[in-house]
Structure 1
Amino acid sequence: MPRFAANLSMLYNEHGFLDRFAAAARDGFKAVEFLFPYAFAPAELAARLQDNGLRQVLFNAPPGDWDGGERGIACIPGREAEFRDGFLRALEYAQALDCPRIHVMAGLAPVGRRREELKATYMENLGWAARQAAKAGRSVLLEPINTRDMPGFFLNFQEEAHRIVEDIGAKNLLVQMDLYHCQIMEGDLAARIRKYLPTGRVGHFQIAGVPGRFEPDVGEVNYAYLFGVIDEAAAQCGWDGWIGCEYKPRRGAVPYGTGEGLGWLRSPVLPGV
């Protein structure tokens, strides 16, 4: 069975953010991820991890003006200095939280700019970030995101993400394979897992039910089967990463809670692959 990390930006919203660490630990999670740590002091977050016996396995670099609608700035020409300052800040948090992976969001493609120009900026920023992260023993992740949830996002397909990683050639630059986004844009998930996981370029998985982004036992994707596929492929190539649970609990509000929907985790059924 794969290892699962609770996404504290999506799960346990019945609690304040700092109380979500304890809630995840009570439900049996051994690791967490979240979008952004920057509203809290690194030492405060590190204490929550230590107090609850949790590992931090992923968070995002600063995305620009998130509240204003920005979804990353890595592909945007003219924002390179801001990107670099933000990534160095992310590395400071990664050090404090002992987090091995930082996700860099590509951003929304600015209207009227040529894709070739955006890609060149994106690759230059990724290469620079990978070099800085390598010095600190961290990995940089890039993630294709679907155009239904995030119209205009620059990176949408697994093949392009893997090609970018290959072209840059940094060993610590990896792909974040979110199966929710992949199903919406591409489908054929089992074949894609079997194709990409053995390459060594997949750094992390994320899951959610499709189409509603609810628990992974709701919707059109047979995740129980896919967990077996991941186990099979991981055994062949030695992959030992995590699967982030980045979904919206259907009953994630008072008087119910995230734990109400964790039956899929407590009693998993893995069909043959």
Structure 2
Amino acid sequence: MPMYTLAVCAEMVFRDLPIHDRARRIHDLGFQVEIWDWSRHDVAALSRTGAAFSSMTGYLRGSLTDPDGAAELLRTAEESIKVAEQLGCPRLNLHGTGLDEKGLPVVPGTGPVTGPMWIAAQRTLSRVAELGERAGVTFTLENLNTAVDHPGVPFAKAEDTLALVAAVDRPGLRMNLDLYHAQIGEGNLVELVRRAQGRGLIGEIQVADVPGRCEPGTGEINYPAVARTLAELDYDGTVGLEAWASTDSDLALERFRSAFTPA
């Protein structure tokens, strides 16, 4: 049996229900629960569901590279830690810059990431990691794709995210390795998982199929092969479904469970 835990993003399934009812439904089906921007939800109602919360967005605004953006990211990260304590949520997710409700960067990049931007991002992430360590939570930096969903986001590729997490080299920061985004941006997913896990830098793995960003089994990614690799590597973290249901949410969760339950 796999050692890892399965979680489901409540933002993307059972969308006819209020978010707290989605969380309860996911919990009743045997999964942990993930959410995005906590400020849009009734946190007290979520905490009453009895669900185990696996991950949530760890900031509200800000960016990694400019001083004002970094200060805002750190300030809202501290707010997010307080909410994570209410929900018992161990991981708080970050991106290269603030995203709007459509997933687009609030301040899109206009050119390549420069050396000074890398240094500034490393410094900001070191401060974020320190916040996490003091609070007993882990911040995760997620790779994104710029070709389809998040054009203009800096540090978007999995290799960039991995490099930043390695450069910070603190237990309060790990990588949220999103295989949907990595397939669009880079591919070669099994070797990417092996490399990141071998360096001990994975805080979570998120999945959806390509194209369409629906549950495993609806696209081109061989997720059973990924699951076998995770089992071989003794991965004992979380695999989170961050995907739209292609037809029915209950079916989507069963397909996810089946893909990540090696025979």
In the other structure, the counterpart of 1:68 is none
In the other structure, the counterpart of 1:162 is 162
In the other structure, the counterpart of 1:56 is 53
In the other structure, the counterpart of 2:255 is 264
Q: CA deviation at 1:186?
A: 1.0
1:240-261 CA distances to partner (integer Å, 9 max, x unpaired)? 211110001122xxxxx41133
1:89 lines up with 2:79 in the alignment: yes
Query: Identity percentage over the alignment?
Result: 27
1:98-123 CA distances to partner (integer Å, 9 max, x unpaired)? 11111111114443696233323322
User: What RMSD over aligned residues (CA atoms) do the two structures have, in Å?
Assistant: 2.1
Q: CA deviation at 1:271?
A: 6.6
In the other structure, the counterpart of 2:101 is none
* Native 8 Å contact 2:6 2:240 kept in 1: yes
In the other structure, the counterpart of 1:32 is 33
- Once residues 262 and 115 of structure 1 are traced to their aligned partners in structure 2, the CA distance between those partners, rounded to angstroms, is 41
1:154-207 CA distances to partner (integer Å, 9 max, x unpaired)? 122222222212222212211110000111111111111122112211000000
1:208-242 CA distances to partner (integer Å, 9 max, x unpaired)? 01011011111100111211111111x2xxx4211
- Once residues 270 and 128 of structure 1 are traced to their aligned partners in structure 2, the CA distance between those partners, rounded to angstroms, is 37
In the other structure, the counterpart of 1:105 is 95
Which secondary structure state, in structure 2, belongs to the residue aligned with residue 79 of structure 1? helix
Query: Kindly tell me: are residues 269 and 35 of structure 1, through their superposed partners in 2, closer, same or farther at Cα, counting changes over 3 Å?
Result: closer
Which secondary structure state, in structure 1, belongs to the residue aligned with residue 27 of structure 2? helix
1:245 lines up with 2:245 in the alignment: no
1:224 lines up with 2:224 in the alignment: yes
Query: Kindly tell me: are residues 10 and 199 of structure 1, through their superposed partners in 2, closer, same or farther at Cα, counting changes over 3 Å?
Result: same
In the other structure, the counterpart of 2:44 is 43
Mark the structure with the bigger radius of gyration: 1
Which secondary structure state, in structure 1, belongs to the residue aligned with residue 54 of structure 2? strand
Query: Which TM-score applies when normalising by structure 2?
Result: 0.87
Which secondary structure state, in structure 1, belongs to the residue aligned with residue 39 of structure 2? coil
1:8 lines up with 2:10 in the alignment: yes
Q: CA deviation at 1:15?
A: 1.0
- Once residues 214 and 96 of structure 1 are traced to their aligned partners in structure 2, the CA distance between those partners, rounded to angstroms, is 30
- Once residues 113 and 194 of structure 2 are traced to their aligned partners in structure 1, the CA distance between those partners, rounded to angstroms, is 34
1:73 lines up with 2:63 in the alignment: yes
- Once residues 245 and 21 of structure 2 are traced to their aligned partners in structure 1, the CA distance between those partners, rounded to angstroms, is 17
In the other structure, the counterpart of 1:173 is 173
- Once residues 126 and 260 of structure 2 are traced to their aligned partners in structure 1, the CA distance between those partners, rounded to angstroms, is 41
Matched letter for residue 11 of structure 1: V
Q: CA deviation at 1:42?
A: 3.6
- Once residues 114 and 19 of structure 1 are traced to their aligned partners in structure 2, the CA distance between those partners, rounded to angstroms, is 41
Which secondary structure state, in structure 2, belongs to the residue aligned with residue 78 of structure 1? helix
| Most deviating of 181-190 and 263-272 | 263-272
In the other structure, the counterpart of 1:132 is 131
Uncovered stretches (5+) of structure 2, i.e. residues with no partner: 98-104
